[in-house]
Structure 1
Amino acid sequence: MKEVVIVGASGHGKVVADIVLKSGDKVFGFLDDNPKMEGTFCGFPVLGRTDEWKMLQDKFFIIAIGNPGIRESMSHKIQGEFYTAIHPSAQISLIDIKIEEGTTIMANAVINSGSYVGRHCIINSTAVVEHDNRISDFVHISVGAKVAGTVEIGARTWIGMGACINNNLSICSDCIIGAGAVVIKSIEESGIYIGVPARKLKVD
């Protein structure tokens, strides 16, 4: 049984805690930098601020923070061993799959054959990652999003709830694909993309 410290006492942290428990491991407690966060959170001890990870080096860590940039920064700060949280109901192919450390795969998500998921990603509840995709580090694929086959997604990109990505496309790093957007051509410039079909949001 692994003892897991969850970084981020939030709603997302609650979901990660549930996955840890359902995987047969132990939630040792939470770290959080909110000065008002103390005592317990969802029944587990708040162990202190994130700087205190050094006192817990014999534990596993997982970062339960939705924002990709913050998740990346925290992964550089904490130098411990990272836990990969995979909900028992997730449907993950047994053929040619690679899932890197620190990633969270939530309930009823699907990852099909030939796909690669990088470090500290979030594949949220009911999201679909089809065959032969390459998901780079710190990507967040939100609830119910669907990524068709042979898609490449760059680091720190956030695919919004219910968004759809057509097959054989690439999306560069540091993009936000809005909720419900439909991407039908490759995206080569970082930014926010919304609508059907998805177009870059102009920011004045």
Structure 2
Amino acid sequence: MIIYGASGHAKVIIDVLKSIGKEIDHILDDDRSLKKILGFDVKHDISQDIEKLDAIIAIGNNSIRKNVSKKLSNNFCEAIIDKSAVVSKDTEIQYGTVVMPNAIVNSSTSIGAHCIINTNSVVEHDVIIGDFVHISPSATVTGNVKIGEGSHIGAGAVIIPGVKIGEWVTIGAGSVIINDIPDHAVVVGNPGKIIKYNKIDNG
């Protein structure tokens, strides 16, 4: 298993991999000042042998994670799910996604590729989550919500049932979302209000 990225998010992914008994072969990062992380050496060059191994991208920024995914020739690993997470057998989760400790994902939910379902977050039944989405710690996504590609749901945010969140949206920490949100909007508050629009370089 290859981990791309050697910052804080990588530390949590290392713990998740250890929790499920996955072997870590190499950790890579472009930043040559990074030498070690949690006792593992950090490499900076990709060899042909490394390209043959399954990989996961341990980068918290959704846009960067997408751009890195397009540059790599590795096969991406199946979803990585911490042993303490509760995930319904009726849920579909695509490759490269990680479900962090104590997260809950309930029935008939679909989660895309390279997503982060972070610590203590709740994703309820019949939710559809696009690729490269980050559901932050302790956020609650209630039933029948749809979240578009690249959106970031802040820590402790709540999205009420049936709401549609567009692509590359940012929901501020602690916000309560009661209405549909268009693409690229930045939303804060209770109830959530759009404060600006982000033009994100999402490739």
The TM-score with structure 1 as length reference comes to 0.92
Judge conservation of contact 2:141–2:160 (CA < 8 Å) in 1: yes
- Please point out which of 174, 188, 192 is paired with 2:186: 192
Offset of 1:85 from its aligned partner? Answer: 1.5
Residue identity opposite 1:63 in structure 2: I
2:30 matched to 1:33?
yes
- State the Cα RMSD in Å: 1.2
Partner of 2:89: 94
Provide structure 1 residue ranges, at least 5 long, that are not aligned to the other structure: none
Give, in whole Å, the separation in 2 of the partners of 1:14 and 1:25.
Answer: 14
Cα pair distance change 1:202/1:100, threshold 3 Å:
closer
Map 1:5-24 → 2, pairs under 5 A? 5-24=2-21
How far 1:127 moved relative to its partner?
A: 0.4
Structure 2 vs 1, CA of residues 18 and 53 (structure 1 numbering), >3 Å: closer, same or farther?
farther
Determine whether 1:177 maps to 2:174: no
**How many angstroms does 1:47 deviate by?**
2.0
Q: Tell me, in whole angstroms, the C-alpha distance in 2 between the residues paired with 1:114 and 1:175.
A: 23
User: Could you list the per-position Cα deviations for residues 97-144 of structure 1 after superposition, in whole angstroms to 9, with x for gaps in the alignment?
Assistant: 100000010000000000000000000000000000000000000000
TM-score (normalised: structure 2):
0.93
Shift of 1:25: 1.0
**Letter in structure 1 aligned against 2:92:** K
Deviation >4 Å, runs of 4+: none
Q: Which letter does structure 1 place at the counterpart of 2:80?
A: A
Q: Counterpart of 1:117?
A: 111
Amino acid at match of 1:183: I
Instruction: Give aligned-pair identity as a percent.
Output: 40
Q: Distance in 1 between matches of 2:98 and 2:135?
A: 10
2:154 corresponds to 1:160: yes
